[in-house]
Amino acid sequence: MADSDVTFKSSDGVLFHINKTNLDICARGFAPPGIETRGEVVHLTETATTLELLFRFCYPHPHPDVEAMKFDVLALLAEAAEKYQVFPAMNICKIYMK
């Protein structure tokens, strides 16, 4: 993305170019505001499938339809949302995990 300033790499090798301002607004678990990655790639333990869903909650676009997800996909998303404290994803996952 043109406005990205941090790059994450999934456990299966997919790169995600994310806008750090969006992360600062929607999440607390990646890095405190103001921390610069200086172009380094941040390696995460989650798969690309999980991170793609998770990062979609950090942008002002329609969020993924968790109601239509298979339970195992939802469970991995919920775990990542809690781990990285992605607030928009945490609540909706909690509701559908019940």
State the CATH architecture for 6-97: 2-Layer Sandwich (3.30)
Give dist(CA 89, CA 86) in Å, integer: 6
Mean of the pLDDT values across residues 53-77? 95
Contacts of 10 (CB under 8 A, 6+ apart): 16, 44, 46, 47, 48, 50, 51
Residue spans of alpha helices (H) in the chain: 20-26, 48-56, 71-84, 87-97
The pTM assigned to this predicted structure is 0.87
Q: Where residue 35 falls among pLDDT bands split at 50, 70, 90?
A: low
For residue 20, the model assigns a pLDDT of 87
Reading phi first (left if > 0) and then psi (alpha if -120 to 50, else beta), residue 41 is in beta
